[in-house]
Structure 1
Amino acid sequence: MTLLSGLLLAVPGAVRSQNFDASTLMRAQRNGETNNLYGNNPFEQPEDENGEGQQQDTTKKERKIRKPLESYFFDDSVRALNNFRWHVNREYNRVTVMPLDTTLTDYRIDYPFFREDVGDIAQGALGQTSLPLNYFRRPQDFDFSFASPYYAYTYNMENVDFYNTKKPMIRMSYEESGQKRFREENFEIMHAQNISPTTGFNVDYKARGTRGQYVWSRTKNHNLAVAFSHTGKRYSVHAAYYNNKIEQQENGGVVGVWALRDTVFEMPSGIPMKLADAEAKNVYRNNAFFVTQSFAIPLQRVTESDFSVANLSTVYVGHSFEYSSWSKVYTDLNMPYTDERDHRDENGEFVSAEHNYYDDWFINPQQTRDSLYERVISNRFFVQAQPWDRNGVVGTIDAGLGIDMHTYSQFELKDYLTGGYTKVDKTSYFAYGAVSGKIKKYVGWDANLKFYPSGYRGGDIEIGAHLALTGYLRGHPLILEGRFSMDRRSPNYWQENLFSNHYRWSAPLNKENETRFEVKFSVPDYAFEAGAWQGVLSDKIYYGPDGNVAQHDGSVSLTSVYARKDFRLGGLHLDNRVLLQWSTDQEVIPVPLLSAFLSYYYEFWVVRDVLRLQIGLDGRFNTRYYAPSYNPALSVYYNQREMEVGNYPYLDAFVMGKWKRMRIFLKYQHVNKGLFGNGEYFSAAGYPLNPGMFKIGISWGFYD
């Protein structure tokens, strides 16, 4: 049980579900369900009082013994779970295991980017863009960077779910809010089924979006993943197809803070925005497929009593293939907007003025249709040596070679003559390796190295190390972790080459260098964790106030301190998450000094073991700072120095319940609107969060 707690602690968000994990295993142990190494086998004969197998009825046809889950990926405590899920590693022969959370934990938080620590800088509504407040959680994707603001919604190779279920499982969720013409909707359905204990498939589909509380903010976000896995004793394969499609109208943000505060606008849809046309829109499409497989070659004789090769000297050989294509089409019309309170005259009266959201129109002065395309085909060949025991002092030694073939396409000025699009092919070659091990249940360690000797990213290097120490106080694990990483990375293609209607650049940039240190201490059984990050970045690439790419000539130091503690007094829960951040250059990396997420609620049984309720408040807050804003044409968050946001508490009141297999919540989002606060409910500069609205959600699971 303690091993599983330590394993789940390393998974983002899993620490919030420690009650689920521990209670599941403890209940299984009390009921004798984990006597078998791989959990109960319904086809095995139960033992009698003397430990002997019961006599079979010879008059009946003998049943075939069903093989248990034999994979070396999963230890005994994971096999004991009725259902679990995992993610596959892109480069190494490893998986990350997570529980299936069917409790009330965080279910009422319907925006996925608000579920991690203190949440994100958000553009506004469900399905729209976001950027983590915690700098050290921000995605560092090298591939299609225009899609990274949708990281919380989109599938990629390392976040597609795979499932192992004892029974076929279907889970459906639906949430909606607001009036029909402004409604937010969130629909999710998942089906998972095992053909055998080692082989299964699953389908996940999610449709999320809003019709728009504000003008020109309609968003549709569709995500599909179809996955297949076989995790046998020697051979394993993970394969999946996933599709991401996003359509978002762009309004450019509010014309001025006054428009948000002014009571003249009774409805949010009447608040004037900067992009005043319905044609301002982004459409993203992503199709991808991957398959990764490995074969185990034991160096010792495998007997019938060896259910897994995890305890034998073994060599694994494998291959990983990935194909992914992304496209983005941005459109708009040249229509200026009017700021009715642009400035004051000599008499102190407001004077209106017309502005254009974009200063430049390089291709067409009337309208825009920018089309960008990127494709990557990746191959990785790897070998993993398991010298003794997979969980030994030196558990695994990994080595691999890879090649990434990129294709980039965009319209350029010379294409006026050809009528086509310019395509550029680039190839990256790299080698990587890692080593990891454990000393019983007390020490876990690993180190990794990745190097690009030539090609597109020639000279790039990634170095990382991790150490986890676990002690026990009265049976409760105390975990101290340390991480180190050093990255030297090339700018992505679009940061150096872009030709569009509003922005253009073609200039080489220096490689970024970043060194990070992280220390974290946690006590899972008491819902406590505290951590600190220290980062030093040189030649940082960012987007400046004019929307153009900029590179800082020097170093920036960034420090973050995070703490989480959930208090419980009977049925009263006081959950607290706080983040402090310091940046030595706020113009390059702007961060708020303090960010917090507080959730205070009362939980109780209405009907014992049938209906359980939570009633409470969620609150988010950050101090005032020059928050990034969002540029629709570039699909990036950029630094600005015109508008400070913050010092505004954003509160949600909720009632949430679990009745048998059904979960339901009722919530009034932004319950404090117009009651208190400075009236500037922004998270990203210029983009107001949603006003007050009522939400309802329901989730139901079926297991047979």
Structure 2
Amino acid sequence: MNKYLLAPLFFFTCFCIQAQVKPKPKTKILTDTSRVKTNNPIKSNKASVATIYAYKIISKDSDTTYVDTTLTIKKEYKYNYLRKDNFNRIQFANTGQTYNSLSFDNSSRNIMPLFSAQARHFNYMEVDDINYYHVPTPLTELYYKTVFSQGQTLDAFFTVNTSKRFNFSIAYKGLRSLGNYQNALTSTGNFRFTTNYQTRNGRYKMRGHIAMQDLLNQENGGLTEDDVQRFINDEEEIQDRSVFDPNFQNAENNLEGKRFHLEHSYDIISKKDSLTDNKLSINNTVSFQDKFYEYNQTSADNSFFGTSFNNVIQDKVTLEDFYSDLGLSFRNKLLGNISFKINYTNINYGYNSLVSLNNQTITNRIKEDFFGFLGAYKNKIGRFNLNGSVGANLSDKIKGNFLDAKVAYQFSEDLNIVGGLNINNRLPNYNHLLYQSDYTNYNWDNQDSFDTVKSQQLSFGIESEKYVNASVDVSNIDNYTYFNLESVQNDVKVIKPTQYSKSIQYLRVKVQKELRLGKFALDNTIMYQNVTSDDDVFNVPAFITRNTLYYTDEVFKKALKFQTGIIFNYFSEYNANGYDPLLAEFYTQNQTKIGGFPRLDFFINAKVRQTRIYLKAEHFNSSFTGTDYFSAPNYPYRDFTVRFGLVWNFFL
């Protein structure tokens, strides 16, 4: 069957997901929404009261959390464009631009090459980023935050259960920001629709989603070398950042994708009583994704990118990715949860034409269809929690396999010890293997010369709010593949994918602890990193730290709760990865160091009922601690600015 015809059938096919709800905590996690009153309970005409624990958020792995309207310092860390903690990332100057990564997690269960333009994927929502919901009354959440000149960002979400067995949600996150520098506009949109359903007897379950996303960024190549020095010297005439003339002002790149995803299952055997708990289910997943990345420039800039075939640059690469699996899962009180799946994948990556360069033809497609398998095991034995999975691609071309094992021991309600082992072998990303461009330097075919990237990571951690949260992981990487600054010829940077033939050892140690004294608190997060290799191909800062001193109180008869404080961010100086706007990728370079500068933010946050209000003076120390602050070589970090916004939940 043609895979294009399967998208409309997704929500007529079925799938199974076991939502495993964590035990209800003994103390309420919310103060004002732990009991949300409603006069319209599902399937009832009587007034009732719904606890906050009934507003469930279910992840891809079926872990369940609850709507949380509290005001905490962790909410402050996540109040940003990505709505994630940015401890290990540093933002570029404009909202919606990319982030330079300060540390890397080498554990992964993904055994497929990733798509092009990974620097654009920070805000691209993958299958694992989509949540599903179950709510007793309609729930709405609005997120708003100001940006940098002429725009705003808004994330609007709504979900409702039309019955106890059927839920749907719809959400859209939009951004437009002109930015303070020339040709740096960002305009993005993320649309999501989710649904889940189960039959009255609970034997058949399904859930699925539709995601449509477009991420557009204007590109300017960063500051020229002369302007970098003027920026560092803080010359008065360029304190208005729009005065800068960047390397070019006529380019933009765009990442767009649409995905249709469905999972469903049927319980063949479903018996549960006080003595037995056996379940045998058949399950199926169907997923189709269509993506493209394009780089457009109205006239070629040969002084920046080198020679070109055409004067007008129009690079475009596409990926069609179809995935389906069929499997069985078995659950038993003694044996735990065991599952096995056979999967089928069809991929079509590439370009619409061939390129001839230096008497060599650059092919235009990577096409393959193949089978694979996935197995998983999960069980709780006493205080031990065991979780493991294994998978492989049964293909000679798209090679890949993984093993992921985790074990946790719960000493007490507040103290967990966790350990893990992850082994992953997969091909480098598609744009490492094959790339075409109107610029001659950006054409290569490495399908026959690049081997699989092999990584092994061993991790250990302690989880305790009372004592300390700490983690250690050690990784070994073979055949590390990266974009490398090979040379600079007549001021043109020659950037090519490179596979490192020797081993790399990478150590990370992270410690987090909050200290409290009355209404004051000091939250500390510190990371130490060390890389051992014969060459400088994997660069990270040795130290990253974030320290937040803040004060919390309640006023107006506890109707308003507020927090105010100062956040200190710092990472040590190092040869940070550079950014290539054509590839929308970061590359390794060892000529320019950044870092070693403090970033101080002052914030005042408040909560009234279910509304959280945020006000922050970002990087307020920029005028008196020096202007040698960059997110990447030639790309300055953000200047001092004041931003505000809110997050508002409605329980109807």
Tell me if the contact between 1:124 and 1:689 (Cα under 8 Å) persists in the aligned partners.
Answer: yes
Name the count of aligned residue pairs: 601
The answer on whether the counterparts of 2:315 and 2:437 sit within 8 Å (CA) in structure 1 is yes
Cα drift, residue 124 of structure 1 = 2.9
Q: Structure 1: 5+ residue runs without aligned partners? A: 1-5, 10-19, 34-40, 45-62, 70-78, 90-94, 337-354
1:316 to 281, 293, 304: 281
Alignment of 1:644 onto 2:613: no
CA shift digits 1:5-63 (9 cap, x unpaired)? x9879xxxxxxxxxx966426989x99x9xxxxxxx9799xxxxxxxxxxxxxxxxxx7
CA contact (8 A) 1:113 1:119 kept: no
User: Deviations for 1:248-269, whole angstroms, at most 9, x for unmatched residues?
Assistant: 0011112133132232302111
The verdict on how the C-alpha distance between 1:414 and 1:65 changes in structure 2, with shifts beyond 3 A counting, is: same
1:346 matched residue in structure 2:
none
Change (3 A) 1:527 1:373: farther
Aligned equivalent of 1:381:
326
Alignment of 1:288-687 (within 5 A): 288-298=259-269, 300=271, 312-334=277-299, 356-361=303-308, 363-364=309-310, 366-386=311-331, 388-389=332-333, 392=334, 394-413=335-354, 422-440=364-382, 442-458=383-399, 460-472=400-412, 476-502=413-439, 503-507=442-446, 508=448, 509-524=450-465, 526=466, 528-545=468-485, 546-585=494-533, 587-676=536-625, 678-687=626-635
State TM-score, norm by structure 1. Answer: 0.80
Deviation at 1:299, TM superposition (A): 5.4
2:28 matched to 1:24?
Answer: yes
The Cα of 1:141 is off from its aligned counterpart by 8.0
Distance in 1, Cα, partners of 2:42 & 2:89: 49
Counterpart in the other structure of 1:100 = 67
Q: Percent of aligned positions with the same letter in both sequences?
A: 19
- The answer for the alignment partner of 1:213 in structure 2 is 180
Q: Which amino acid aligns with 1:173?
A: Y
Q: Higher relative contact order at CA 8 Å, sep ≥6: structure 1 or structure 2?
A: 2
Distance 1:604 1:65 in 2: 38
Q: 1:529 to 1:687 in 2, by over 3 A?
A: same
Query: Match for 1:647: what amino acid?
Result: G
Distance between the aligned counterparts of 1:610 and 1:299, measured in 2? 49
1:542–1:424 CA distance, 2 compared to 1 (3 A): closer
Asked if structure 1 preserves the Cα contact closer than 8 Å seen for 2:55 and 2:134, the reply is yes
Q: 2 CA distance for matches of 1:311 and 1:664?
A: 50
- CA distance in 1 between counterparts of 2:29 and 2:160 reads 22
CA contact (8 A) 1:411 1:499 kept: no
2:239 to 263, 266, 269: 266
1:139-154 alignment, distance < 5 Å: 142-154=112-124
Which one of the candidate residues 170, 174, 178 is aligned to 2:144? 174
Q: TM-score, normalised by structure 2?
A: 0.86
Aligned to 2:54: 82
* Structure 2: distance between partners of 1:544 and 1:138: 23
Q: Matched residue of 2:231: which SS?
A: helix
Q: Which has the higher strand share?
A: 2
The Cα of 1:282 is off from its aligned counterpart by 0.3
Note the residue ranges of structure 2 that are not aligned, 5 or more in a row: 1-19, 358-362, 486-493
Q: CA-to-partner distance for each residue in 1:562-585, whole Å, 9 max, x for gaps? A: 011112211112111111100113
Q: Does the aligned pair in 2 maintain the 1:177–1:694 contact within 8 Å?
A: no
**Could you say if the C-alpha distance between residues 415 and 504 of structure 1 is closer, same or farther in structure 2, counting changes exceeding 3 Å?**
closer
SS in 2 for 1:269: helix
2:116 aligned counterpart, secondary structure: helix
Closer, same or farther: CA 602–633 of 1 in aligned 2, 3 Å: same
Identify the range of structure 1 (106-115 vs 96-105) with the bigger mean alpha-carbon deviation.
Answer: 106-115
Of 285, 293, 313, 2:256 maps to: 285
Deviation of 1:238 (Å): 0.8
Quote the residue 2:220 is aligned against.
251
- What amino acid maps onto 1:170 in structure 2? T
> What is the deviation of 1:464?
1.3
Q: 1:21 to 1:573 in 2, by over 3 A?
A: farther
Structure-2 residue corresponding to 1:158: 128
> Is contact 2:107-2:456 (8 Å) kept?
no
- Letter aligned with residue 644 of structure 2: I
1:587 deviation in Å? 2.2
State whether residues 566 and 576 of structure 1, in contact with CA within 8 Å, keep that contact through their aligned partners in structure 2. yes
Task: Please give the alpha-carbon distance, in whole angstroms, between the structure 2 residues aligned to 1:542 and 1:271.
Answer: 31
Structure 2 counterpart of 1:408, which letter? Y
CA distance in 2, matches of 1:566, 1:468: 23
Of the structure 1 ranges 213-222 and 152-161, higher mean CA displacement relative to structure 2 is found in: 152-161
| Structure 2: distance between partners of 1:520 and 1:358 | 45
Q: Secondary structure at the match of 2:593?
A: coil
Tell me, in whole angstroms, the C-alpha distance in 2 between the residues paired with 1:699 and 1:137.
Answer: 33
Q: In structure 1, how many angstroms separate the alpha carbons of the residues matched to 2:316 and 2:477?
A: 32
For residue 238 of structure 2, give the secondary structure of its aligned residue in structure 1: coil
8 Å CA contact 1:401–1:431 kept in 2: the answer is: yes
Secondary structure at the counterpart of residue 135 of structure 1 = coil
Structure 1 residues 684, 43: closer, same or farther in 2, change over 3 A? closer
SS of the residue 1:158 aligns to? helix
From the superposition, tell whether residues 471 and 104 of structure 1 become closer, same or farther in structure 2 (CA, over 3 Å).
same
Equivalent position of 2:211 in the other structure: 242
* One-letter amino acid of the structure 2 residue matched with residue 406 of structure 1: I
TM-superposed CA distance for 1:137, in Å, is 6.6
How far has the Cα of 1:698 moved from its partner? 1.7
Summarize deviations over 1:379-399 as a string: whole Å, max 9, x none: 01121011x22xx5x311110
Hey, what does 1:351 align to over in structure 2?
Answer: none
Q: Residues 65 and 397 from structure 1, CA distance in 2 versus in 1: closer, same or farther, beyond 3 angstroms?
A: farther
| 3-state SS of paired residue (1:495) | helix
Q: Secondary structure at the match of 1:24?
A: coil
